[in-house]
Chain A
Amino acid sequence: MWGSDCDTIRLRLALMAGHDLPRSEEAEVERHLAGCVDCRRHWAALGQSQHVLEQARVLSATASMSAAGEASVWSGVSREMARLDERRSERRRNWRSLLPAGAVGAACLTVGMIVGDLWLVAGSPVVGGGDMAGSGRTGQALMAPRGATPNLPVGNMSRPATRSDAEWPGRGGPVDPLQPRASGPYRNY
């Protein structure tokens, strides 16, 4: 069995056989070869197999030369390229045709969000304490899950009896969404 030196040298020999070893490393390999019979034998065998590969390369290069008169693949490639471009532009056209519908959809969504926001501000139970659009539930009651008993005084559950409807926003009182809201825990809502 070879020593670890021989293992390393043999990898370098394989590179040297195809002129792929840097010249700076060749001197060290040659020094090793001078003193190692096994590696010299391996070097000779590598030379033979490398010669076979070289012959095979030359032969197939000759074969390729004889096939060089073959028609170029360009005609086939250009035909397929035209098809590819056609498909691409069709996809682009389809995508463009969807643009107006997408724009209308986005506009509807934006308007809906604005209207919804205004509506929430105007009729928000947490601000106004009134019923949510026909839900039959009052502001704080909405915080609790349906069926749970809210921790509220019995009677009129969400508004103090001292205020009139006109004092409550959303209950007949003036609501201006652009104005700062009344003081309270939800001021910055």
Chain B
Amino acid sequence: MSDPGTGSLDLHPLSGAVSDARLVEEVRQGDQDAFGELVRRYEGRLMSVLMRFVRDRELARDLCQETFLRVYERLDKFDPARRFGPWLFRIGVNLGLDTLRKRKRRRWPLFFSDSPSELGIDPASPDPREHLDLQQEVRQVLDGIPEQYRTVLVLRDLENFSTSEIAAILDRKEATIRWRLAEARTRFQRIWERRQSVKPPHTLGAPEQEPEGSEHVGE
């Protein structure tokens, strides 16, 4: 699988590689290998984003595959004047959020996996528990933030998308995204501080639930 990478959604604009728009056009003309190139270009980043939402590597992999299939199915409807990356991630993020909502409706007790292999902790590192605790703690704080803010926070601060890219992915105005980001960081800080002040170190408590806002991103 390709390196998830960090940064812009235009992954190869200056490297001399074929542009996304060109590859999309080739796929439309029946070249499946061009779609393979798009898959390899985006799968790492998409897997990383999906893992943030579902926290289960196998499920994230299935969703990743499903996202690319949906993209392939709807490629005729894609407006080539727009950027391919945000469109792909919009479909992926929607799939991730839908899966989370279905899980919540079914009241699955295991909201995320604690297994080190799924978290990708290297067993050879000196003490993976410390990292595990921090990751778990961050996850639990994130779970206490309503979805519409959490999604923006995850995409910006954990996945390093720019606010304009998030606006394109979530199909919202950039001003809305910036406002939600500010609100999300404030809420994260508040919950984080509260948890740190009431708990002894390395003790995990139940997530603090706040009223959950729900939205679905338009495709």
Which residues on the B side are within 8 Å of A56 (C-beta)? 134-135, 138, 158
What interface size band does chain A fall in? Answer: 35 or more
Whether B181 lies near A18 (C-beta < 8 A) is yes
A 69-81 binary contact with B (CB < 8 Å = 1; else 0): 1111110111011
Whether B138 lies near A53 (C-beta < 8 A) is yes
Most buried by B among A50, A61, A66, A77: A77
Which residues on the B side are within 8 Å of A64 (C-beta)? 3-4, 44, 47-48, 51, 120
Interface secondary structure of B, over-half rule: helix
CB distance from A2 to the nearest CB of B (A): 12
Q: Please judge, given known A-B contacts A46-B185, A61-B4, whether A18 and B65 are in contact too, CB under 8 Å.
A: no
- A-B CB proximity, top 8 nearest: A63-B120, A14-B182, A49-B189, A14-B185, A11-B182, A56-B138, A64-B4, A53-B157
Residue contacts A-B, CB under 8 angstroms, 27 given: A11-B182, A14-B185, A15-B185, A18-B156, A20-B181, A45-B193, A46-B186, A49-B189, A53-B158, A59-B131, A59-B134, A60-B51, A61-B6, A62-B122, A64-B48, A67-B47, A70-B1, A72-B1, A72-B2, A72-B40, A73-B1, A73-B61, A74-B40, A76-B65, A81-B32, A84-B69, A84-B72
Whether A77 lies near B185 (C-beta < 8 A) is no
Interface secondary structure of A, over-half rule: helix
A110 contacts partner chain B, Cβ-Cβ < 8 Å: no
B19 contacts partner chain A, Cβ-Cβ < 8 Å: no
CA distance A67 to B58 in the complex (A): 12
Whether A67 lies near B178 (C-beta < 8 A) is no
Partner of B158, one of A45, A57, A76, A81: A57
